[in-house]
Structure 1
Amino acid sequence: MTGKLYRLQRHAGGVAGLQIATDDAPHVGDAALDALGDAVAEIQRDPSVRALVLEGGDRHFCSGATRDTLMDADAPRAIARLMGGFPRLLLSLEIPTLALLSGHALGGGLMLGLWCDVATLAEESLYGANFLALGFTPGMGSTVLLEELFGAPLARDMLLTGRVLKGRDIKAAGVPISHAVVPRREARAHTYALAQDMALAPPTTMAVFRSHLAARRRAQLDRAIADELAMHTEVFAHAETRAHILESYPALSDETEPA
C-alpha cells in the first residue's frame, strides 16, 4: 500500500484526490468507508477543494466488498450498509466527484466509480458486474445504475451472465458511457483535466446544481438498495450462496491483467 491510501491529496486548481484501494488490497470494507467519510468531512470544512477524484490501484481500481463482508452472519444488512454507504457519501458532497477507473473495476468496485458524477475507463482494463458469477444477486445500486450508463440490453447481459468487458469493447458498443473510455496511459491526465475544468465553476453555483443532481440520484439509489436488500435477504438464506462465494471469491489471476 502507498502513503496515498485513505489520505486526501491536494492537487493544483482546487482538485483533491483520494485513493480508496490498491493493487495489493483491491477490496473495500469498513476502513475504506470510514476513510471516505473522513475525506468528505474534511472537504466540507475546506472550501478550497472544488472537485474530488476517487482513485484505486494502477492495475485494479476496486473489486468491491471483502469476502468477510459477504460471509458476515447478517450479510444482507452488512452489504447494504457498506455498499449503500459509499455512494451516499459521494452524493452528500456539493462538489463534483470523478472516478479514475484506469485499472480493472468489478462488482461493487465498478459501481463505486459509476456513482461518481463522471468516470474515466481505460481501453485495456476490465469492467464487470460479476455478482451472479460470484454467487449472489447484484448490489450497490447496480440494478438501476448499469442500465443508465451501459444501456438496458448490455446491462442485462452483464448482470445475468456476470461477464466482464474490456474497455475497448465498451467503447465500440456505443453505449452512454462509451465516450469515457480512453487509452490507459491517458486516463489520469484526462480525469484530472476534467476535474480542473469543473473546479473553475463558481462554488455557490456548483453547489446548487450538484445538490440538485445528487438528490435525484440519491432517490434512485435508495430505491435500488431497498430492492437489492430484499434479494440479498432471500439468497443469503440459502447455504449454496455462501458455498459458492467461498469457492469463487476472489482469485486475482493473470486473466485480470490489462492487455
Structure 2
Amino acid sequence: MELNNVIIEKEGKVAVVTINRPKALNALNSETLKELDYVVTELENDEEIYAVILTGAGEKAFVAGADITEMKDLNTIEGRKFSILGNKVFRRLENLEKPVIAAIGGFALGGGCELAMACDIRLASDKAKFGQPEVGLGITPGFGGTQRLARLVGTGMAKELIYTGKIIKADEALRIGLVNRVVEGEKLMEEARAMAQTIAANAPIAVKLSKAAINRGMQCDMDTALMYEAEAFGECFSTADQKEGMTAFVEKREKSFQNK
C-alpha cells in the first residue's frame, strides 16, 4: 500500500510512526485511518520491532482531530461508518502486541486525543493541549473518547471535559492522569526514544503478555483478571527468554533476549 499520510521508520528494535499531514494539522481523514490500519498490520508482522512510538509531523499538532472537511456533509449512515472505521483502527492499535508510546508535541484534540488514548503510554510536550471539543461541533466523540477517557481519568472528569468541550494544557492533563509525563518540547522525541529502547531491552514476550493481561483485566472482575495474570505468568516459563533472564541474573551477567 502506498503511504501518503503516514510515515513508518525503523530504528533498531523501535518503530517510529508519524501522522504526516502537517498542513491539515495531521487531521484524520478516511485515507489516513486506512493507512494507519495498514501500518498496524505491518507492525504486527514485524518480529524485529519490540516497541513503537506514534507522533505527528510538525510542531503544532500531534493530531488536531478528525477531518471536519470530510465529516461536515456526512449523513447518519456515513457518520456511523466513519466512527466504526476509526474505532476499528484505534482498537487494533490498542491491542497491538507491541507497546505503543504516544509522543504528543502539540494539539491532541478530538480524534487526536482519542488516538493518544489508544496508545499504552502518553508523553506530552509542555506545549501540548488536549480536549474532546466535539459537542461544540454538534457531534459526540466518535473514536472511543466516551469510553477511554472515563477509564483513564474517571467518569466525573471525563463528563466535564466532554460536556464542556474545554481544552486543557499539558500540566492539567498530567494532573488528571491523562498523560504519563510532561517534558520540554525539544526533548520529547529523545524521551520517547529512551523509553522505547528501555522497553525493547526487556523480554519481548513478557512485555507482550503483560500488556495483554493489563488490557484484558481492565475489562473484567478482579478474580477473572487474576486468572489471566496467572495464565500469562505461567506461559512465560515456556520461553527461552525466561530461562535466559533468570540464568543471567543468577550468574550475574548481561542477559540476551531472543524473543523466543
State the TM bucket, normalised to the shorter chain. 0.7 to 0.9
Q: Corresponding residue for 1:112? A: 115
Structure 1 residue runs without a partner (length 5+):
220-259
Check 1:164–1:184 CA distance in 2 against 1; reply closer, same or farther (3 A cut): same
Instruction: Return the alpha-carbon distance in structure 1 between the equivalents of residues 218 and 88 of structure 2.
Output: 14
* More displaced stretch, 29-38 vs 157-166: 29-38
Check 1:163–1:189 CA distance in 2 against 1; reply closer, same or farther (3 A cut): same
Q: Once the 2 structures are TM-superposed, how far is the Cα of residue 82 of structure 1 from its aligned partner?
A: 2.4
**Matched residues, percent identical?**
25
Q: Deviations over 1:149-177 (max 9, x none)?
A: 33433322211110101113334xx3223
Instruction: Return the alpha-carbon distance in structure 1 between the equivalents of residues 43 and 173 of structure 2.
Output: 33
Q: Once the 2 structures are TM-superposed, how far is the Cα of residue 193 of structure 1 from its aligned partner?
A: 1.2
Q: Corresponding residue for 1:22? A: 21
1:1-259 to structure 2, matched below 5 A, reads 5-12=5-12, 14-25=13-24, 26-57=26-57, 58-67=59-68, 68-73=70-75, 74-171=77-174, 174-177=175-178, 179-215=180-216
Aligned residues of 2:66 and 2:111 also touching (Cα < 8 A): yes
Secondary structure of the corresponding residue to residue 16 of structure 1 = strand
Q: Which runs of 4+ in 1 moved over 6 A?
A: none
Secondary structure of the corresponding residue to residue 65 of structure 2 = coil
Secondary structure of the corresponding residue to residue 108 of structure 2 = strand
Q: Once the 2 structures are TM-superposed, how far is the Cα of residue 179 of structure 1 from its aligned partner?
A: 4.1
Q: Deviations over 1:113-137 (max 9, x none)?
A: 1110001122222211101112112
Q: Bigger radius of gyration, 1 or 2? A: 2
Q: Once the 2 structures are TM-superposed, how far is the Cα of residue 178 of structure 1 from its aligned partner?
A: 5.2
Aligned residues of 2:30 and 2:82 also touching (Cα < 8 A): no
Instruction: Return the alpha-carbon distance in structure 1 between the equivalents of residues 28 and 135 of structure 2.
Output: 19
RMSD between superposed Cα atoms in Å: 2.3
Aligned residues: 214
Instruction: Return the alpha-carbon distance in structure 2 between the equivalents of residues 218 and 195 of structure 1.
Output: 26
Q: Once the 2 structures are TM-superposed, how far is the Cα of residue 66 of structure 1 from its aligned partner?
A: 1.6
Secondary structure of the corresponding residue to residue 206 of structure 2 = helix
Instruction: Return the alpha-carbon distance in structure 2 between the equivalents of residues 91 and 146 of structure 1.
Output: 14
Q: Deviations over 1:10-52 (max 9, x none)?
A: 113x100111243212211222222222222222222110111
TM-score (norm 2): 0.74
TM-score (norm 1): 0.74
> Which is bigger in relative contact order (C-alpha 8 A, separation at least 6)?
1
Q: Once the 2 structures are TM-superposed, how far is the Cα of residue 70 of structure 1 from its aligned partner?
A: 4.6
Aligned residues of 2:122 and 2:180 also touching (Cα < 8 A): no
Instruction: Return the alpha-carbon distance in structure 2 between the equivalents of residues 70 and 202 of structure 1.
Output: 46
AA matched with 1:132 = V
Q: Once the 2 structures are TM-superposed, how far is the Cα of residue 218 of structure 1 from its aligned partner?
A: 7.9
Structure 2 residue runs without a partner (length 5+):
221-260
